[in-house]
Chains A and B, each alone.
Chain A
Amino acid sequence: MDSPSESHGTLAAGPMRPRPFVVVRRWDETADTFSVELRPALGDGSEPSGAPAFRPGQFNMLYAFGAGEVPISISGDPADGERLIHTVRTVGAVTRLLSELRPGDAVGVRGPYGTGWPVDAAAGHDLIIIAGGIGLPPLRPVLYQVLAQRDRFGRVALLYGARSPEEMVFIDELRRWRSRLDLDVAITVDRATESWRGSVGFVTTLIARAPVDAADAVAMVCGPELMMRFAALGLVKKGVPEQQIYASLERNMKCGIGLCGHCQLGPSFVCRDGPVYPFTDVKGLLQVAER
């Protein structure tokens, strides 16, 4: 039997081998969420220069040396070939170490992996983007791409739900997006503070008011799975065809290339066949517990 390094050229080149990147900037988004800008470390010339191209919705495995890897969606602009931006919530040992990165520190990157949002397929249609909490970072590349080619799309609505005003990510960008006339942005929080002047209520309450032609709309949804399930119900009730709804799933991804099986969900591997799925493919699986 051939060894993996002989029979799988790409494996030899390194889908399992992290590429060294250097932290350029790191900043807090909220009390427990930060963003980090990475650029490829200067190598020996054997790796292509620049950051790897990615599609909105794809993820990288980020390796905190000595601690381990975590799958993190790419939250930057797909048109930026020089750098990668990731937005990370600190929830465990690896993300805690990543949160302590400072400019000049090294981090390993494998990827990009997985399927992306069907941005091209949405061209010519209205678009509803629904994000809950830390579900906005995987959708931000969609917004960058759509706004860069705004004429290709019909009406575009972003519905964003957060736990509280302090826990919204990309505040400055949300403000800029809200000022655009060609993008309808609706934001709601579960718990208002005294100074909050915006909407209060779960993100699904924004769906009925979204100013799109539901029957012609494509919807992209990312957030907690329960949120996505109810968002999909709300979208269907509004008249969005179920087959035009897409959701991004999160599972325990380890290898990133569909080999190890950790992220198996029914018949598919989320790292390889997802994380973005047509809702019709996964609606029956959203209640399957992760083991």
Chain B
Amino acid sequence: MRDMVALLSASPVFAGLDHDQLEFIAGCGWNVHFKAGDTVFKFGEPADRFFVLRAGTISIEIRYPGGPARRLETLGDGEVLGWSWLFPPYTWQFDARALTDVRATAFDGTCLRDKCDDDPPLGYELMKRFAGIVAARLQATRLQLLDLYGQPL
């Protein structure tokens, strides 16, 4: 548990939380490993967890009917994978696949949601942090959609 708390405190998404809060969250987490090519989750499956990546690269993909997967975004060290556990209907909206060997910490979303319901200050704090991640990804996606490099400088 102590190792997990140290791991969490070094992660940007949990940095700054107090020790009790980190212990609380650590109780919902466990370490996982994916080999290159492994599927982490698939569209439509229950989204009951999220991951903080410690090493390696994950690809978020969407699959055309009958076509190849199209890679939308990659995530790397220190980044958070998955927020569908936070919002109904709690199912994954995209596929995620390991591009390299990946070490990560997985968190039980249901367990954490329950803890957040019981501890609103912690819930609000976590919600702010995840909202920040969602906002940053939305902003990056908007810039991606602008196709800026297709225009003259």
Q: State the A residues within 8 Å of B (CB).
A: 89, 91, 132-135, 161-163, 167, 188, 190, 192, 194, 196-202, 204-205, 208-209, 223-227, 230, 250
Nearest chain B residue, comparing its CB with the CB of A237: B136
Contact, CB under 8 Å: B140 / A201? yes
Number of A-B residue pairs with CB-CB distance less than 8 Å in the complex they form = 70
Nearest chain B residue, comparing its CB with the CB of A132: B149
Provide the residues of chain B in CB contact with A230, threshold 8 Å. 139, 143
Residue among B76, B77, B147, B153 making CB contact with A134, cutoff 8 Å = B153
Provide the residues of chain B in CB contact with A162, threshold 8 Å. 149
Provide the residues of chain B in CB contact with A202, threshold 8 Å. 140-141, 143-144
A-B contact pairs, 13 of them (CB 8 A): A132-B148, A163-B149, A192-B70, A199-B74, A200-B72, A202-B141, A208-B12, A209-B79, A223-B149, A224-B148, A224-B149, A224-B153, A230-B143
Nearest chain B residue, comparing its CB with the CB of A201: B73
Tell me if B71 counts as interface (CB < 8 A to partner A).
yes
Known: A199-B57, A209-B77. A192 touches B153 (CB 8 A): no
Q: How many residues of B contact A (CB 8 A)?
A: 27
Q: State which residues 99-153 of B face A: CB under 8 Å.
A: 99, 139-141, 143-144, 146-153
Provide the residues of chain B in CB contact with A192, threshold 8 Å. 70-71
Contact, CB under 8 Å: A226 / B74? no
Provide the residues of chain B in CB contact with A209, threshold 8 Å. 76-79
Nearest chain B residue, comparing its CB with the CB of A249: B153
Cα distance, A204 to B150, chains bound together (Å) = 17
Known: A200-B71, A201-B73, A204-B143. A91 touches B149 (CB 8 A): no
Contact, CB under 8 Å: B73 / A133? no
Q: State the B residues within 8 Å of A (CB).
A: 12, 57, 59, 68, 70-74, 76-79, 99, 139-141, 143-144, 146-153
Cα distance, A243 to B63, chains bound together (Å) = 44
Contact, CB under 8 Å: A227 / B148? yes
Cα distance, A162 to B77, chains bound together (Å) = 21
Residue among B68, B74, B153 making CB contact with A135, cutoff 8 Å = B153
Cα distance, A81 to B152, chains bound together (Å) = 30
Provide the residues of chain B in CB contact with A250, threshold 8 Å. 152-153
Provide the residues of chain A in CB contact with B146, threshold 8 Å. 226
Provide the residues of chain B in CB contact with A89, threshold 8 Å. 152
Contact, CB under 8 Å: B144 / A201? yes
Provide the residues of chain B in CB contact with A226, threshold 8 Å. 143, 146, 148
Nearest chain A residue, comparing its CB with the CB of B70: A192
Cα distance, A231 to B141, chains bound together (Å) = 14
Q: A135-B153, A190-B144, A226-B143 are in contact. List 14 more A-B contacts (CB 8 A).
A: A91-B152, A133-B148, A133-B153, A167-B149, A200-B59, A201-B140, A202-B141, A202-B143, A205-B73, A209-B76, A209-B77, A223-B149, A224-B151, A250-B152
Nearest chain A residue, comparing its CB with the CB of B141: A202
Provide the residues of chain A in CB contact with B74, threshold 8 Å. 188, 198-201
Known: A89-B152, A200-B59, A250-B153. A163 touches B147 (CB 8 A): yes
Provide the residues of chain B in CB contact with A223, threshold 8 Å. 148-149, 153
Provide the residues of chain A in CB contact with B140, threshold 8 Å. 201-202, 204-205
